[in-house]
Homo-oligomer: A and B are copies of this chain.
Amino acid sequence: MSIPTGNRPNRQPRVTILDVAAKAGVHVSTASRALNPKAEHRISGKMVRKIELIAEQLGYSPNPLATSLRTQRTGTVGLVVPNLSDPLFAPIIAAAQERVAEDDFVTFVASSDYKPEKLLSIIEIMSRRHVAGLMVASFDIKDPAADLCLKLGIPTVAVLRDPRHAELSSVTMDDEKGVRALVEHVLDLGHRRIAYITAPLAASTAHNRLAGFMAGTKLAKAAHCQFDVIEADAYHVEEGERIMKRLIADGMRWTAFLCFNDLLAVGALVALKAAGIACPDEISVTGVNDLPFMGLLSPPLTSLHNAGRKIGSQGAELLLDLIENGHAPTRHVLFSSHVVVRGSTGPAPSRPVQDRDRSAKAARRQPAVRARPRPP
């Protein structure tokens, strides 16, 4: 039920510590202590050397399963992301994996597929397997999964998304400040009709970026600014494309689009190109994360640079710390992100797209969420 079947193949019989002890003519406990640096009961120096030599000769290496069973330590950590192939998460995994490997931990990796119940089951599975710690990149705000980690007593670090749990350390980007800077950027370019495409607000990232957008709207000095928020249901290119297509059909009222992430932005670009709307001449678009290749698109995407590798390694660092000192104080590491200005943002056009002949037909349905315009 828990451990799948599978015939063990013809492994050669492993050499155990009994073999070493036998050959050395000592008791296993002596061998164990000799091979264990932190042996409290000390063994004489020459005996240690003798046993080490014999262990070497015999090619002995301790069976981690037995060790783990005895010590309740497995030397494993779990890494969980919502999507393994997303270019945003892969570097986080990679960097974390490298860092923990330095301390001789091996990593279980799993993908929650953006499904809360799957995350719960992953955590349970990993807990059963006695992971020493967990680094999770897919917590929602007040996620029950976070409670579960704490209840199970697993040292846990949240990365990228902060469940905002009082007892859970986190490593995140300063999304709020970042998106605010993006708003500032397009305001500086003269844009006054600005839309923000948010992701589902369960994630703290979505929350913070929206907050950043709202904060940015307060910066607007001009009298007739229009700010709107549109909610996406997913995180991928196709969703961005779908949304932008709909907006174009509905009559485009904005000159600048800030997107929750690069994937949505790329989708928006695709839709704009298909509709023959020029970016940035008619509409400016921005993303978040600055994924690889974003600078090479046409137009190159203005984005917020988020350093995935730094998040991963810092998350691992915190986690190792937590594993070592059972009750380290909760910490929240915040990396600042900076706007990378590229070709997808430009000066605001004199007239928005909807005034052009081409798109006059569509009825103007309201977007999903409508932010209140903020007078200066």
Segment among A81-89, A160-168, A243-251 that sits at the interface with chain B: A81-89
A58-112 residues with Cβ-Cβ distance < 8 A to B are: 61-69, 71-76, 79, 83-87, 90-91, 93-94, 97-98, 101, 103-111
The stretch of A6-14, A21-29, A200-208 that contacts the partner chain: A6-14
Knowing A90-B85, A97-B109 touch, does A75 contact B3 (C-beta < 8 A)?
yes
Report chain B residues within 8 Å CB of A309: 85
0/1 string, A29-67, CB within 8 A of B gives 1: 000000111100000000000000000000001111111
Q: Which residues of B contact A73 (CB under 8 A)?
A: 3-6, 8
A125 to B62: give the CA distance in the assembly, Å: 11
User: Considering the complex, which residues of chain A in the window 240-281 have a beta carbon less than 8 Å from any beta carbon of chain B?
Assistant: 266, 269-270
Q: Please choose the segment from A175-183, A224-232, A293-301 that sits at the chain B interface, where 4 or more of its residues have CB less than 8 A away.
A: A293-301
Each complex incorporates copies of this chain amounting to 2
Does the CB pair B63–A7 fall under 8 Å? Answer: no
Contact A110 B128 (CB under 8 A): no
Query: CA–CA, A107 to B325, complex, Å?
Result: 27
Q: Is the CB of B65 within 8 A of A130?
A: yes
Contact of A154 with B by CB under 8 A: yes
Classify chain A's interface size: 35 or more
By a CB distance below 8 angstroms, the chain B residues around A10 are 153, 326
Per the bound structure, the CA–CA distance linking A83 and B98 in Å amounts to: 11
Interface of A is mostly: loop
* A65 & B68 in contact (Cβ 8 Å cutoff): yes
Interface residues of chain A, those whose CB is within 8 Å of chain B, are 1-12, 35-38, 61-69, 71-76, 79, 83-87, 90-91, 93-94, 97-98, 101, 103-111, 125-126, 128-130, 132-133, 152-155, 266, 269-270, 291-294, 296-298, 308-309, 323-327
24 intermolecular pairs with C-beta atoms under 8 Å apart: A3-B104, A4-B73, A4-B132, A5-B38, A6-B132, A6-B323, A7-B325, A8-B72, A8-B73, A9-B154, A12-B153, A63-B128, A64-B130, A65-B130, A76-B108, A84-B94, A85-B309, A90-B90, A106-B108, A106-B125, A107-B108, A107-B109, A269-B296, A297-B298
